[in-house]
Amino acid sequence: MAPLLEIKDLRARAGDKEILKGLFLTVNAGEVHAIMGPNGSGKSTLAQVIAGHPAYEITGGEIIYQGEDLAELEPEERAQAGIFLAFQYPVEIPGVTNAYFLRAAYNEIRKARGQEELDPIDFLDLLESKLDLVEWGPEIVQRAVNAGFSGGEKKRNEILQMAILEPKLALLDETDSGLDIDALRIVANGVNALRRPDNAYVVVTHYQRLLNHIVPDFVHVLADGQIVRSGGKELALELEAKGYEWLTGAVEASA
Amino acid sequence: MIETYLRQYEAQSADAAGLPPWLQRLRRSAIDGFQQAGFPTAKDEEWRFTPVAPIAGVEFAAAGGTATVTAADLEPFLFGHPEWTRLVFVNGLFAPELSSSPATEGLTATTLAVALAAEPEILERHLGQHVSPDATPFTALNTALSRDGALVRIAARAEIETPIHLVFVSTAEADGVAIHPRALVLVEREARAQLVESYVTLAPGARYWTNPVCEISMAEGSWIEHSRIQRESEAAFHTGFTQVNQWRDSHYRSFSLAMGGAIARHNLHTRLNAPNTEALLYGLSLAHGDQLIDNHTVVFHDQPDCRSWEVYKAILDDRSHGVFNGKIFVQPIAQKTDAKQTNRTLLLSDTAKIDTKPQLEIFADDVKCTHGATVGNLDPLSGFYLQSRGVPAEMAKRIQTYAFAAEVLEEISSAPVRDALDILVHARLGTVR
């Protein structure tokens, strides 16, 4: 079976600054990949480039998702094709309720797939059925999107959105940053409950602790825009013990 | 072209002969004031950004004649609540067959013409007393030429549960006509009510001129929510003036939606005449094409311990032009004043523009007064957030625009009014509700 995602020699920049410098990554359905690396290594950029963030320009290589080159697709087309980015800093949209926002997204995706749209009442039922996953009560659906939410609430909201939109490829961009232990548990439990043989997760994180909860099949270390080491989940523990210098130093030595 | 209106005044004087002397004097002094002032020009600071030459250049006829409006025509403007107390004026003239005034304890909703016959002393005490006839040349003209209007009176301690709706509707017959509607709202001691004032049209392309004046008197401890909805023809002109007079412990809550008119100006002035009064002013303008929508607000903090809170927003597309002027006057005696004013504008095109001017004149030293004005475009990051969830770029922009509007819409406390305006704004912006 063809991989879900295949990244070949990807190069990308923000403005004049080259950030990804020839990156290779293959993700199959059913897998969880962790992308680790020091600050500035390009790991968040990787997630955002896959989602189509307009701040980045692809200057070389390709991102093949389900056999299609993503560079040709608008961000919304990528989402409609099943890609989901859980933002490191989810955006506040005062004036629009969670229910409205998610229904708009859900129905646009259904429309793009030639499926029937859900009316507000049926959608609300669907939304409420997913609240337990993030341990929320029904009042959340009428709150404005992320407006005045704590850091932990914003991340839980990303997981709730993911539960509704059911992506094939979910990119979690530092979803663990700024979370207390309780929120971390809720977020991780949510992700684990949503894991299926036909979807995959790319978990971008600076720290090993999230990976105690969301256990990866593969761990990749990113440094200076390239993957410098790949391994199993034990690689994360090794990194935790030895620090990133262990590998980033290795890059300099080999360069 | 002021002669046109002087002639109309003279032509009406035969009818006016039967009016009480105080009203004849009021009208006479108003037409004299208009004759002296003439139409404002660009040299007039109050009209610097809003040229009225297109209005002054047309010889608008006096309202008259017959227009047939059916209940079905009116239905879309009634918020789904035909049972509310409603006074309907078609092209300025009262339409009893479209109006509905079920007996409600503590509520009088009738026309000024009826009130003039039944209880002239009340009109003498209030009509033209809250808004000075010469506040602007337009209020002078309204005072001189107004043919009829609404009287709403809420008796002391009455709580009117459903909104009272004043509907000023124009038809194709209004083309080329000037309409000068008048409303007088008396909220007595500790009374509570919701008032909705709608300017709507059945002839979206008609060029007419609506020049309304609304006077609101709020006695001690009274509370009203006043929703003013301006949906004139986009070829029409609208020059409205609302004056509120507030007494001790009263609470005035206003929401103003302006989306019609080629040139539409509204002045909303409230005077806090006694301690511990409160005014909340919310506004939303939606302009596109070549529309000019102008909001002038004034809060007079005349006494200590009063609060005013104001948020006016504008969404301007195409070549439209927004104007906002917000004055706050704090008298030397008005210590402990708490006043905040915010004006936010969203420009959806490179050719839309806004002239915004906060004007705070503070003569007391122990006060808290702030103002802020922002002008901006849609935030690209929120746009990407929506797109990353599957919403196409164009719809993402509309939803962002709706969100900007919704922040003021949600301040309307009457749920049916809020819902109806929410539907209207969704329709205008092309978003799904």
pLDDT, one tens digit per residue, over A72-105 is: 899 999 999 999 999 999 999 999 999 999 999 9
Check: CB of residue B281 under 8 Å from CB of residue B268. Answer: yes
| Euclidean distance between CA atoms B338 and A90, whole angstroms | 35
Ramachandran category for residue B127: left, alpha or beta (phi over 0 → left; psi -120 to 50 → alpha)? beta
Q: Which of residues 344-383 of B touch A (CB under 8 A)?
A: 379-382
Q: For the whole model, what pTM was predicted?
A: 0.93
- Burial of residue B32 (number of CB atoms within 10 Å: 0-12, 13-18, 19+): middle
Mean per-residue pLDDT over chain A, rounded: 94
User: What is residue B275's three-state secondary structure?
Assistant: coil
- Short-list B319, B310, B320, B317, CA closest to B272: B310
| Euclidean distance between CA atoms B110 and B118, whole angstroms | 10
Question: Band of the pLDDT at A254, cuts 50, 70, 90?
Answer: very low
pLDDT of residue A250: 53
Question: Band of the pLDDT at A252, cuts 50, 70, 90?
Answer: very low
Is B422 near chain A, with CB under 8 Å?
no
Question: Band of the pLDDT at B17, cuts 50, 70, 90?
Answer: confident
- pLDDT(B13) > 90: no
Residue type present at position B103: A
Beta-bridge partners for B194: B225
Q: Which of the residues B388, B391, B407, B429 would you substitute to probe the A interface, choosing the one with the greatest number of A C-beta atoms within 10 Å?
A: B388
pLDDT in tens, A148-169: 999 999 999 999 999 999 999 9
Residue type present at position B279: A
A75/B387 touch (CB, cutoff 8 Å), yes or no? yes
- pLDDT(B296) > 50: yes
Chain B residue closest to A48 (CA)? B388
Whole-number Cα distances in Å, B225 to B89, B103, B192, B283, B412? 21, 21, 9, 13, 8
| Euclidean distance between CA atoms A123 and B326, whole angstroms | 42
Is B430 near chain A, with CB under 8 Å?
no
- pLDDT(B407) > 60: yes
Average the pLDDT over A219-240 and give the result. 93
pLDDT in tens, A11-70: 999 999 999 999 999 999 999 999 999 989 999 999 999 999 999 999 999 999 999 999
Check: CB of residue A201 under 8 Å from CB of residue A27. Answer: no
Measured between beta carbons, which residues in chain B are less than 8 angstroms from residue A104? 386, 389, 391, 395, 399, 432
Chain A residue closest to B410 (CA)? A95
pLDDT of residue A177: 86
Question: Band of the pLDDT at A253, cuts 50, 70, 90?
Answer: very low
pLDDT in tens, B198-241: 999 999 999 999 999 999 999 999 999 999 999 999 999 999 99
Chain A residue closest to B405 (CA)? A95
B388/A96 touch (CB, cutoff 8 Å), yes or no? no
Which residues of A touch chain B, with CB atoms under 8 Å apart?
51-54, 74-76, 78-80, 84-85, 87, 90-91, 93-96, 101-102, 104-109, 112, 161, 165
| Euclidean distance between CA atoms A178 and A145, whole angstroms | 19
- pLDDT(A243) > 90: no
% pLDDT > 70, chain A: 97
pLDDT of residue A240: 86
Beta-bridge partners for B210: B179, B238
Please state the ipTM of this predicted complex: 0.96
Nearest 5°: CA angle at B32, between B28 and B37? 150
pLDDT in tens, B20-47: 999 999 999 999 999 999 999 989 999 9
Mean per-residue pLDDT over chain B, rounded: 96
- pLDDT(A255) > 50: no
Lowest mean pLDDT of A213-227, B4-18, B68-82, B101-115, name the range. Answer: B4-18
How far A181 CA lies from chain B's nearest CA (Å)?
26
A165/B404 touch (CB, cutoff 8 Å), yes or no? no
pLDDT in tens, A97-138: 999 999 999 999 999 999 999 999 999 999 999 999 999 999
Residue type present at position B179: I
How far B396 CA lies from chain A's nearest CA (Å)?
9
How far B389 CA lies from chain A's nearest CA (Å)?
6
| Euclidean distance between CA atoms A107 and A119, whole angstroms | 9
Chain A to chain B Cβ contacts (< 8 Å): 82
Residue type present at position B407: E
% pLDDT > 90, chain B: 94
Measured between beta carbons, which residues in chain A are less than 8 angstroms from residue B407? 94-95
pLDDT in tens, B140-192: 999 999 989 999 999 999 999 999 999 999 999 999 999 999 999 999 999 99
Question: Band of the pLDDT at B297, cuts 50, 70, 90?
Answer: very high
Q: Which of the residues A70, A73, A83, A91 would you substitute to probe the B interface, choosing the one with the greatest number of B C-beta atoms within 10 Å?
A: A91
- pLDDT(A251) > 60: no
pLDDT of residue B265: 98
